[in-house]
Amino acid sequence: MKVILHDLPEKYTELLQKHCDTVIRADGKYAPCQGCFGCWTKHPAECYLRDSLHTVCRTLGRADELIIITRNCYGMYSPAVKNILDRSIGLSTPFSTYRGKQMHHTLRYGKHALLKVLAYGDMTAQEEKTFAYMAERNAVNFGYEASSFIPMKSLAELEEDVL
């Protein structure tokens, strides 16, 4: 399954839909993670907060390919996109393992193929470096075999990069 997670205006959802199985739009109309770990221990793969991200970890967990399109925020995802990633840790289990020579959690849905991060908006050279490193780290953490980071000069590049 190919999933696209983006924080672009609503009109882009339709365009992106043509290139994947599921589009998740980060509209920010949901609460941030409360850090309770209930999605691991109490009601696995489900958040106790009953908003639109209640079971979003299941969608991200099933993605073979995940494309994230996000505004750059100091070399990181926008708050709305990061909120979805934070609320998705239920895609792993509470048990620990070693991955990339470091401690991580075992994966509920197994390994994924590709994580691609496309960032737009004003970005300094240092932020670009940070973001590339962040995407690499997230790929290991969430169990992706490969990852890439693409800073976009403008949204016109979008279709070319997503395809």
**DSSP bridge partners of 105:** 96
Scored b (16 or more CB within 10 A) or e, 104-127 reads ebebbbeebebbbbbbbeebeeeb
Instruction: Find where tokens 């470091």 sit.
Output: 102
DSSP codes of every residue in 1-25:
-EEEEE-S-THHHHHHHTTSSEEEE
Q: Per rule CB under 8 A, is residue 52 in the interface with other proteins?
A: no
The distance of Cα 25 from the centroid of its chain, to the nearest Å, equals: 11
For other proteins, the binding residue among 15, 94, 121, 159 (CB under 8 A) is 94
Q: Per rule CB under 6 A, is residue 35 in the interface with ligand FMN?
A: yes
Q: Per rule CB under 6 A, is residue 135 in the interface with ligand FMN?
A: no
Cβ nearer to ligand FMN, comparing 140 with 152? 140
Q: Which does 41 bind (CB under 5 to 8 A by kind): ligand FMN, other proteins, none?
A: other proteins
Footprint of ligand FMN (CB under 6 A):
33, 35, 86, 89, 141
Footprint of other proteins (CB under 8 A):
32-38, 40-46, 55, 58, 61, 73-80, 82-83, 85-86, 88-89, 93-97, 102-104, 106, 108-109, 124, 126-127, 129-130, 133-134, 137-138, 141-142
